[in-house]
Amino acid sequence: MTEPATNRSFVRLEGVGHRYEPDPNVPPVVTGIDLDLRRHEFVAVVGPSGCGKSTLLRMISGLLKPTEGRVSVFGRQVDGPRDDVGIVFQKPTLLPWLDVRRNVLFPLRHKFGRYSRDDEKRAGELLAMAGLESFAEKMPDELSGGMQQRVGIVRALLLNPDILLMDEPFSALDAMTREQIGFDLLKIWEEQPKTVLFITHSIAEAVLLADRVLVMSKRPGSVLELIDIDLPRPRTARSISDTRFGELADRIRKHIYEPDVA
């Protein structure tokens, strides 16, 4: 019997590691990472600072080649940047001389030298989905930090990537804005399903957003546990007060702050 596409490994890491220094006496940043991501699954990654979370993301994106092991997407080895991968960084890095709509369309102009009316229509639809329709003609400095980050997410979605990689995208936001944009991201993800790898330092954020949470060890980073987040969807503010939410957060917290107990 053929395995359903939604259950197949869409992204696979097999014994993946990376070292920036060729000196064998200098430990690698990450080592021995085995991970399977299913299509349209939302996986969050947490771990101590410097454990290689961003390195892991860069290897999946094709921006960095692993020095050990193999990264593949649907069985094909990743050997360079891919068109079906969108990346959202810690800061949206919007171009200050372009308005919101043209910032969203910029990747198309950069890649193909132009964009069509259909592209403009899709940009408008994505902005509306992110609650930014009325801000399309605004300049970046007229937006709040949370709104700028939503523009960055919309820009990453414009090319309709199968994989969305997010490197601590909400880290510069205040707590209330961060929580709200988390719910905004869930809404976008539910309406435009993607395979998401989401790096965060917030345990609560990881539990709120993800289907599974990958907990990494201190450097050299390796997998301590891959935890199923068995909270019902859609997630709401009430999810945070669920007893199970607290149990899952505590389980992750022990790995990071009390590794001998975990």
Q: Quickly list DSSP for 82-122.
A: -TTEEEE-SS----TTS-HHHHHHHHHHHHHS---HHHHHH
**Mean pLDDT rounded to a whole number for the chain:** 89
- Structure token digits, residue 223: 């997998």
Q: Where are the domains of the chain?
A: 1-84+197-262
Sheet holding 195-199, edge to edge: 85-88, 163-167, 195-199, 42-46, 212-216, 223-228
pTM of the model: 0.88
* Helical ranges in the chain per DSSP H: 53-61, 100-112, 117-129, 145-157, 175-191, 203-209, 237-240, 243-257
User: Residue range 16-39: average pLDDT?
Assistant: 91
Report d(CA 192, CA 60) in Å as an integer: 21
If you classify domain 1-84+197-262 with CATH, what class do you get?
Answer: alpha beta
Q: For 74-122, write each residue's pLDDT tens digit.
A: 888 998 888 789 999 888 889 999 999 999 999 888 777 778 888 899 8
Q: What is the mean pLDDT of residues 150-162?
A: 88
In 3D space, the residue among 38, 36, 35 whose CA is nearest the CA of residue 8 turns out to be: 38
Distances (CA, A) of 172 to 87, 91, 199: 17, 8, 14
Above 50 in pLDDT, residue 182? yes
